């Protein structure tokens, strides 16, 4: 069964509103969670790395004030897209890992398809 739950799976919002996406690890404590964005027919683009209890590390070119990440507990991270615009429409995927070293694979959520009208 799924080990990472991401919600909602689809969301349509109006331009200027904010959208929150939740990512939960279901049966393990996630020391680190990652947020990705994926455009059609493109690979995953890492947006930010989130460690529980500390500020997220954003990749170059990603606006931290626009994409707010909160990793409040070892099982929950949230991504809030603030003041969304049509160009923010994309497939957002979270993943979680219990340990950064070794062969711990990433466990992915099912993704959230965001459409901004």
Partner 1 sequence: GQNIDQPTEMTATEGAIVQINCTYQTSGFNGLFWYQQHAGEAPTFLSYNVLDGLEEKGRFSSFLSRSKGYSYLLLKELQMKDSASYLCAVKDSNYQLIWGAGTKLIIKP
For the four alpha carbons of 97, 102, 104 and 106, in that order, the dihedral sign comes to positive
- CA gap 101, 35 in Å, rounded: 18
Are 81 and 88 in contact, with CB atoms under 8 Å apart? Answer: yes
The CA radius of gyration of the chain, in Å to the nearest whole number, is 13
60 binds partner 1 per the rule CB under 8 A = no
101 binds partner 1 per the rule CB under 8 A = yes
Measured from the CB atom, the residue of 62 and 106 that comes closer to partner 1 is: 106
Measured from the CB atom, the residue of 7 and 42 that comes closer to partner 1 is: 42
54 binds partner 1 per the rule CB under 8 A = no
102 binds partner 1 per the rule CB under 8 A = yes
Are 44 and 38 in contact, with CB atoms under 8 Å apart? Answer: yes
* Interface residue list for partner 1 (CB under 8 A): 6, 34, 41-44, 46, 49, 91, 93, 95, 100-103, 105-111, 113
């Amino acid at each position: 069964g799924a080990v990472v739950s991401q919600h909602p799976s689809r969301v349509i919002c109006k331009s200027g509103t904010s959208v929150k996406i939740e990512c939960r690890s279901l049966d393990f404590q996630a020391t680190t969670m990652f947020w990705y964005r994926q455009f059609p027919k493109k690979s995953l683009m890492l947006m930010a790395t989130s460690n529980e209890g500390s500020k997220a590390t954003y990749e170059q070119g990603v606006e931290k004030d626009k994409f707010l990440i909160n990793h409040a507990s070892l099982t929950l991270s949230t991504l809030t897209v603030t003041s969304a615009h049509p160009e923010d429409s994309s497939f957002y995927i979270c993943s979680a890992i219990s340990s950064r070293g070794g062969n711990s694979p990433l466990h992915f959520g099912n993704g959230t398809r965001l459409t901004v009208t």
